[in-house]
């Protein structure tokens, strides 16, 4: 006896078709027309789109930052993910500069232990190399891959905390190439940005607005180019995280055209929010939108949408890193101290559907590619991202006609604000299954804390090998 999702339209990255989907235990048993309901529990998907559970490859749950910790832990964060239609997240484990990758792994596995409501995996951020010529940490990279962590994050921003220099970046890239792993890059020139930041503070420009102005699109473009060029030299596949503007996009496309194995994501916020609309420099309230890279001028949005449509950008993630306004207040009077990050894990699909599909910028198939299938392929999640026999029964039943108003008052995320407060969107997650178990029913969370399991990923050089 299984669960039969009947009368829906199955949407994949390639096409859409009226098909029934039979879930058996934790996996999909059959995808076909007219599967007999005899002996099965039937979920009527009439009028609904049946998609693979979505994957958010960029989240920061329970993450220490600037003297505080992101507001969502693995429980609230993955509940919010589920309600938003996301059944897998990839979070970031961060190496302390004085410590090891294994220590970071232990710390993050502990944060997630028994707490996740949907499946999760980890990227490993390398911030320092230990041993002669880095030998100890480079050896640990092999151990991470063996464990199923096949992507390594490198920060080109945040000097003295997370930032790495070019020699460390190159060494990690060489090792990643050898391991067929993927390097994920936070591409901003942190050294140049820090000079501008201190100049602004010296001029008394301390409000949230100046956080955005201090981090030039050119600093992102420079680092985007440099990291891809170094990866190309090292023979490594690279994935630029949270690409936010047209100048950085031009560098990505330039290097892609030259044959570099370079992929990139953008995030929901860069597609629909802007300096002009959200942080014109009028109030402290704009601290809601202090994240890195910052919001950009509106003129960057269309090129990002175009890049999603033409394939130069492969994924839309969130960089979900939530802080309450109380936490943001740490930076009142000094934007350097505002915890960086915004809440978005719950709203990603609503925003991408409404402003992408409803607006005619992307097709439903492209939506599935950007939110589900490409993330699984790029990050080596072989059981996820497609609806096919034998794959995990992670299923999203999407109602393209539901009208929904986004509000902090009704969200699952732990923040006391929404970046999209009062926005009306059409299209919402109705039912969600995670490995065969229903975790969302009629838009409400019905899952179990602790259901989520660690996803062991394969090393496939971002699907480019
Ligand atoms: Zn991030």
Cα 341 to middle of ligand 1, angstroms: 8
CA of 208 to the centre of ligand 1 (A): 19
**What is the Å distance from ligand 1's center to 122 Cα?**
12
Output the CA 264–ligand 1 centroid distance in Å: 13
Rounded CA gap, 116 and 111, in Å?
A: 9
Would you say 240 and 252 are in contact if contact means Cβ atoms under 8 Å apart?
yes
The number of distinct structural domains making up the chain is 1
Cα of 291 from ligand 1 centre, angstroms: 9
Q: What would the mean pLDDT of 137-158 be, rounded to a whole number?
A: 98
* DSSP assignments along 153-209, one per residue: EEESSSTTTTB--HHHHHHHHHHHHHHT-EEEEE---HHHHHHHHHHHHHTT--SHH
Q: If you measure from the C-alpha of residue 3 to the centroid of ligand 1, how many angstroms do you get, rounded to a whole number?
A: 36
Dihedral of CA atoms 250, 256, 259, 264 in degrees, nearest 10, equals 140
Give per-residue pLDDT as tens, 276-322.
Answer: 999 999 999 999 999 999 999 999 999 999 999 999 999 999 999 99
Residue 183 pLDDT greater than 80, yes or no = yes
pLDDT at 66 over 90: no
Q: Give the H or E element holding residue 276.
A: helix 275-278
Query: pLDDT tens digit string along 247-268?
Result: 999 999 999 999 999 999 999 9
Over 90: is that where the pLDDT of 216 sits?
Answer: yes
On whether residue 369 sits in a domain, the answer given is: yes
Average pLDDT over residues 402-427: 98
pLDDT of residue 465 exceeding 80, the answer is no
How many whole angstroms from 354 Cα to the centroid of ligand 1? 24
- Asked if 101 and 364 touch (Cβ cutoff 8 Å), the reply is no
DSSP code, position 289: G
Residue 59 in 3-state DSSP? strand
Residue 134 lies in a domain: yes
> For residue 435, what pLDDT band results from cuts at 50, 70 and 90?
very high
Ligand 1 centre distance from Cα of residue 342 (Å): 10
Query: How far is residue 219 from each of residues 46, 150, 318, 448, measured CA to CA in Å?
Result: 49, 28, 21, 43
In a domain, 59, yes or no: yes
- Whole-number average pLDDT of the chain: 98
Asked whether the predicted pLDDT for residue 326 surpasses 90, the reply is: yes
pLDDT at 97 > cutoff 90? yes
pLDDT on residue 135: 97
Q: Per-residue pLDDT averaged across 222-244, rounded?
A: 98
Cβ contact 17:365 at 8 Å: no
Residue showing tokens 């028994």: 114
| Per-residue pLDDT at 289 | 98
Q: Is the pTM of this model over 0.95?
A: yes
> How far apart, in whole angstroms, are the C-alpha atoms of residue 411 and residue 318?
16
- 58 CA distance to ligand 1 middle (Å): 6
Please tell me the distance between residue 465's alpha carbon and the centre of ligand 1 in angstroms. 25
- For residue 16, being part of any structural domain is answered with no
Residue 308 has φ and ψ, to the nearest 5°, of -65, -45
In a domain, 395, yes or no: no
Are 59 and 318 a contacting pair, CB within 8 Å?
yes
**Is 155 inside a domain boundary?**
yes
The yes-or-no verdict on residue 113 having pLDDT over 80 is: yes
What region does 244 belong to: left with phi over 0, alpha with psi -120 to 50, or beta?
alpha
Q: Given phi > 0 = left and psi -120 to 50 = alpha, else beta, which region is 378?
A: alpha
Smallest Cα–Cα separation from 106: which of 64, 144, 68, 141? Answer: 144
217 Cα to the center of ligand 1, angstroms: 17
The answer as to whether 419 is a domain residue is no
Distance from the CA of 29 to the center of ligand 1, in angstroms? 36
Spatial neighbors of 104 by CB under 8 A, at least 6 apart, are: 93, 94, 95, 96, 124, 125
- Does 42 map to a domain? no
Q: Rounded to an integer, what distance in angstroms lies between the CA atom of residue 50 and that of residue 3?
A: 14
Task: Return the CATH number at 371.
Answer: 3.20.20.140
How many CB atoms sit inside 10 A of residue 298's CB? 13
In whole angstroms, what is the distance from residue 332 CA to residue 22 CA? Answer: 53
How many other CB atoms sit within 10 Å of the CB of residue 113?
A: 11
**Model confidence band, residue 1 (pLDDT cutoffs 50, 70, 90):** confident
Q: How far is the CA of 48 from the centre of ligand 1 (A)?
A: 32
Percent of the chain at pLDDT exceeding 90:
99
Q: Are 263 and 239 contacting, i.e. CB atoms less than 8 angstroms apart?
A: yes
Report the Cα 118 to chain-centroid distance in Å: 15
What is the residue range of 205's domain?
Answer: 53-386
Q: Ligand 1 centre from 66 Cα, in Å?
A: 14
- Protein residues placing their CB within 5 Å of the ion ligand 1: 319
Instruction: Using alpha carbons, select from 111, 149, 117 the residue that is nearest to residue 435.
Output: 117
């Amino acid at each position: 006896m299984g669960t039969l999702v009947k009368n829906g339209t199955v949407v994949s990255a390639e096409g859409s078709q009226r098909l029934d989907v039979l879930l058996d235990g934790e996996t999909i048993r059959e995808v076909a027309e007219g599967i007999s309901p005899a002996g099965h529990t039937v979920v009527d998907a009439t009028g609904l789109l049946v998609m693979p559970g979505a994957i958010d490859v960029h989240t920061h749950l329970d993450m220490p930052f600037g003297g505080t910790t992101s507001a969502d832990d693995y429980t609230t964060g993955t509940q919010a993910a589920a309600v938003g239609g996301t059944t897998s997240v990839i979070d970031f484990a961060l190496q302390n500069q004085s410590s090891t990758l294994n220590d970071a792994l232990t710390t993050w596995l502990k944060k997630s232990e028994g707490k996740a409501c949907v499946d999760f995996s980890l990227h490993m951020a390398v911030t320092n190399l230990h041993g002669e010529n880095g030998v100890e940490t480079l050896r640990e990279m092999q151990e991470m891959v063996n464990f199923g962590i096949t992507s390594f994050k490198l920060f080109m921003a945040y000097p003295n905390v997370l930032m790495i220099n070019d020699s460390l970046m190159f060494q990690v890239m060489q090792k990643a190439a050898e391991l067929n792993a993927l390097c994920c890059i936070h591409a901003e020139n942190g050294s140049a940005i820090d000079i501008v930041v201190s100049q602004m503070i010296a001029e008394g420009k301390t409000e949230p607005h100046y956080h955005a102005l201090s981090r030039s699109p050119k600093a992102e473009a420079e680092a985007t180019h440099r990291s891809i060029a170094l990866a190309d030299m090292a023979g490594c596949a690279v994935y630029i995280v949270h690409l936010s503007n047209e100048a950085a996009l031009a560098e990505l496309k330039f290097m892609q055209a030259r044959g570099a194995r370079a992929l990139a994501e953008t995030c929901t916020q860069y597609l629909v929010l802007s300096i002009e609309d959200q942080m014109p420099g009028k109030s402290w309230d704009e601290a809601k939108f202090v994240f890195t890279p910052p919001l950009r001028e509106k003129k960057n949005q269309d090129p990002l949408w175009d890049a999603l449509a033409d394939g130069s950008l492969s994924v839309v993630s969130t960089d979900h890193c939530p802080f309450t306004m109380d936490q943001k207040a740490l930076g009142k009077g000094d934007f350097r101290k505002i915890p960086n990050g915004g809440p978005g894990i719950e709203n990603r699909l609503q925003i991408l559907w409404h402003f992408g599909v409803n607006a005619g910028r992307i097709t439903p198939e492209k939506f599935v590619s950007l939110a589900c299938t490409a993330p699984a392929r790029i990050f080596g999640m072989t059981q996820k991202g497609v609806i096919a026999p034998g794959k995990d029964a992670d299923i999203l039943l999407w109602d393209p006609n539901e009208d929904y108003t986004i509000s902090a008052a009704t969200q699952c995320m732990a923040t006391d604000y929404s970046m999209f407060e009062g926005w009306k969107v059409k299209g919402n997650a109705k039912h969600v299954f995670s490995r065969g178990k229903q975790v969302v029913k009629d838009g409400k969370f019905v899952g179990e804390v602790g259901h989520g399991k660690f996803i062991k990923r394969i090393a496939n050089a971002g699907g480019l090998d």
